[in-house]
């Protein structure tokens, strides 16, 4: 598994081809939640009534999601897999977790490096969406979006490999305080499943 290093602790690791490779990972601070039900199909009155009925739930779910799947837990989830290999980086790549960037114009549009690293073998993985949705027909799901930017081979303006993953949830949100552990595990499992959906293209 690639080594975990926080930003700033740069101790180059030699990759198999002799170059020191770095994968900089930016988790997201985002945590959106929206619940809609059958009433939303009943015109203006239904939609308004449903928005009112779900307001407390949308607030509490968003807060819970931002907490239970905040940056530190996204990082913890990524640490359980071989992240660098998942996005096609060579073995021995150093995985460096960066503090999140809130400005979406920066995370989703900027094609140059988001760090001050000058490593020749360099790439970035950015989490750009963290959305919980509960729909009347489709049920509960977690949706994540990701961007991979590859600066290897002298690239200075990287192409963005954008993609998403969405998987169902069975335990989140918890019905009782006792259900929190299961709900948290459910969220993080879905997060990894979403990432694996996205990362399948690199295999």
Partner 1 sequence: MRRWHVAAAIGGAVLLAWQPAPALARPDPFVPAESRQLAAPRPVAVFLPQQRIASSIELGRIAFPAGGGGALGAIIINGNNDIPERLANSALERAEGWITPLVEALDGFDITPLASNATLAALEQTGWLGTVQLDVLNGEIPQATEGGSKGVLVSTTYGIGLFGPAANSNAAVRATGETITAMERDFAAAYPDAAERAQVLWRYQMSPDFTQVQVIADVTLVRKNAAEPFYKQQVIALVRLPRPSFVEEENVARWAANDGALARAALTSAFARVGQVLPQVLALDREGFAAATDRRRESATVAGFHGPVLRRDAGGPVIWARDGDQRFAAFVTAQNASE
- In the complex, the residues that contact partner 1 under the rule CB under 8 A are 6-9, 27-34, 36-37, 40-52, 54-56, 58-59, 62-63, 66, 70-72, 75, 97, 99-106, 110, 112-116, 130-131, 133, 135
Write down the least CB distance from residue 164 to partner 1, Å: 15
The residue (of 97 and 191) whose beta carbon lies closer to partner 1 is 97
Q: How far is the CB of 24 from partner 1 (least distance, A)?
A: 11
Nearer to partner 1, 42 or 91 (CB): 42
What values do phi and psi take at 23, rounded to 5?
Answer: -120, 115
Instruction: Report in angstroms how near the CB of residue 128 gets to partner 1 at its nearest.
Output: 10
132-151 exposure pattern, b = at least 16 Cβ within 10 A, e = fewer = bbbeeeeebbbbbbbbbbbb
CA-based nearest residue to 146, from 157, 134, 160: 160
The residue among 7 and 90 lying less far from partner 1, judged by its C-beta, is 7
Closest CB to partner 1 among 116 and 178?
Answer: 116
Closest by Cα among 102, 112, 87, 61 to 162: 87
Q: Whole-number minimum distance, CB 93 to partner 1, in Å?
A: 20
**92 conformational bin, left if phi > 0, alpha if psi -120 to 50, beta if neither:** left
Shortest distance in whole angstroms from residue 79 CB to partner 1: 11
**Which lies closer to partner 1 via its Cβ, residue 51 or residue 81?**
51
Alpha-helical segments (H) within 69-166: 71-78, 83-86, 104-109
Give the closest residue to 29 by CA, choosing from 124, 111, 127: 127
């Amino acid at each position: 598994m690639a080594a975990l290093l926080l930003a700033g602790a740069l101790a180059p690791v030699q990759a198999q081809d002799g170059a020191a490779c770095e994968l900089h990972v930016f988790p997201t601070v985002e945590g959106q939640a929206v619940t809609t039900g059958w009433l939303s199909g009943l015109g203006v009155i239904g939609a308004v009534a449903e928005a009112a009925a779900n307001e407390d739930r949308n607030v509490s779910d968003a807060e819970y999601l931002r907490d239970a799947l905040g940056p530190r837990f996204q990082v913890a989830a990524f640490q359980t897999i071989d992240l660098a290999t998942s996005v096609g980086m060579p073995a021995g790549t150093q995985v460096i977790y960066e503090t999140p960037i809130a400005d979406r114009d920066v995370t989703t549009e900027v094609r140059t490096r988001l760090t001050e690293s000058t490593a020749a073998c360099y790439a970035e993985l950015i989490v750009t969406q963290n959305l919980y949705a509960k729909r009347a027909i489709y049920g509960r799901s977690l949706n994540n979006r990701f961007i991979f930017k590859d600066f290897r081979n002298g690239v200075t303006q990287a192409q963005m490999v954008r993609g998403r993953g969405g998987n169902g949830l069975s335990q989140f949100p918890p019905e009782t305080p006792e259900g929190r552990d299961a709900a948290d595990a459910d969220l993080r499992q879905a997060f990894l499943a979403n990432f694996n959906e996205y990362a399948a293209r690199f295999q």
